[in-house]
Amino acid sequence: MHYRIDIKIGGNEHNWRRPEILSGLMSLLESPHCVAAHLATACGPWSAVKFVTDGGPRPIFTLDHVDGIPEATDIEQRLIDGALADASFVARAFSVLAERKAQCSIEHPVGKGRDSLMVTTGCELHATLMHTSSVAAALAEHEHVCIEFDRCMTDTDTRKSTQIVATPRLGSELRPRLGVLTCSLGVDSSHQHSDQPLRGRDGNGVYRTVASETYGPRLCELLARAMHAAVVSSAGGVHNAAIAQAEPTVDAPPKRLSTADATEFKPVNPFAKDDSVEVYWKGDKKWYHAVVIDTGEQRVTIRGRSLLSSTIQVHYTSDGQKLTHCLHNNMVRLHGSHA
Ligand SMILES: [Zn+2]
């Protein structure tokens, strides 16, 4: 069973900056039934873009001030406090899972500071979530593996270099799947994207970073496969028959992936006929109630790759419409699951 805790799905009922949500989430992570967790928190407060002197916001975290700059303005201090709350949650979650020998991964944009692989002029003091005292202490205490990859090789239209810090077993499964993916712009002619950095707004006034806040299907698949392999192979405590049973028969080969990669993955449809669900309509910014009347699969093309996506045919209770939705690009939840 996979739980997605995300403000985009559950609103403030999924907001771990609220003490009661945090304590519920920590009990889930402390449960022996929790075998793995992937953590991705807001990265904006550590954005390297703040090091560009273009009149925009100044950096609020630096290598000299890993827990926030001194003499911050009220607005900056609020951002610092929120970001440090996320950091403290990430540190606690990683420690709890590492101590139980369960698997944990933390995703964050790569550092561009003087201590990083990608030292960038003007960004020498760039600090990341991993530099905060709380996360750094958790990582110092527990064995972990760092991998870096370029998200343009999985799901974004710009390079978006990303790091994942993971418990060793999960890290060893992430390495061949994600660690090998570096931008092949100019090397592989089938790899195309703009050189435009994730900075400022696009022609529609939308911040360029917004498109990369959500993981695309390929990245989700690779993360899921790595996590599954790590959980299945981990000895002792967390292993159980249900996990072994769910092992897929085909795993992604450890090779560089191109957009023409033909690895087929058969999706599992999480919904069944007669399920009472809610479907999110992005334009209306509303969830609509519906009943599933059929399930199936449909071949779709995502970033030039042909993939199978699960579908549901639903009957909307509000207006009686019957529509078929693919699950890779729609948000659907069981009715009542968000309560
Ligand atoms: Zn690229």
- Interval 148-171: pLDDT, tens: 999 999 988 888 999 999 999 999
Tell me what pLDDT residue 192 has.
Answer: 86
Residue range 260-294, pLDDT digits in tens: 444 556 677 778 899 899 998 988 888 899 999 99
CA of 4 to the centre of ligand 1 (A): 28
Q: Find the 33 Cα to ligand 1 centroid distance in Å.
A: 38
pLDDT, greater one: 303 or 71 = 71
Q: How far apart are CA 290 and CA 139, in angstroms?
A: 45
Helix (H) or strand (E) holding 146: strand 145-150
Computed over every residue of the chain, the mean pLDDT equals 85
Nearest to 181 by CA among 271, 296, 93, 258: 258
Question: CA separation (Å) from 50 to 47, 242, 334?
Answer: 6, 47, 40
Whole-angstrom distance, CA of residue 182 vs CA of residue 93: 29
CA 122–ligand 1 middle distance (angstroms): 23
CA distance 209 to 197: 9
Q: Tell me, what's the pLDDT at 177? A: 94
Instruction: Say how many Å lie between the CA of residue 157 and the centre of ligand 1.
Output: 8
- Domain ranges for the chain: 32-245, 276-334
pLDDT of residue 284: 86
Mean pLDDT over 33-57 rounds to: 90
**Of the candidates 18, 137, 27, which has an alpha carbon nearest to the alpha carbon of residue 82?**
18
> Tens digit of pLDDT for each residue in 209-257?
555 678 999 999 999 999 999 998 875 444 444 444 444 444 544 444 4
Q: Do 34 and 28 touch, CB atoms closer than 8 A?
A: yes
Ligand 1 centroid to residue 309 C-alpha, Å: 25
The alpha carbon of 154 and the centre of ligand 1 are apart by a number of angstroms equal to 9
Q: For 82-89, what is the mean pLDDT? A: 96
Q: How far is the CA of 319 from the centre of ligand 1 (A)?
A: 44
Tokens of 126: 């760039």
For residue 185, report the distance from its CA to the centre of ligand 1, in Å: 5
pTM of the model: 0.69
Q: Six-digit token pair at 111?
A: 């550092």
* Range from 91-95, 125-129, 182-186 carrying the lowest mean pLDDT: 182-186
Beta bridge partners of 201: 207
| pLDDT score of 201 more than 70 | no
Kindly report, residue by residue over 96-138, the tens digit of the pLDDT. Answer: 999 999 999 999 999 999 999 889 999 999 999 999 999 999 9
At residue 131, the pLDDT reads 97
Does the pLDDT at position 27 exceed 90? Answer: yes
Question: What is the 298 CA–ligand 1 centroid distance (Å)?
Answer: 28
Cα 164 to ligand 1 centre (Å)? 18
**Strand 103-109 vs strand 36-40: parallel, antiparallel, or unpaired?**
parallel
Q: How many angstroms does the Cα of residue 224 sit away from the middle of ligand 1?
A: 22
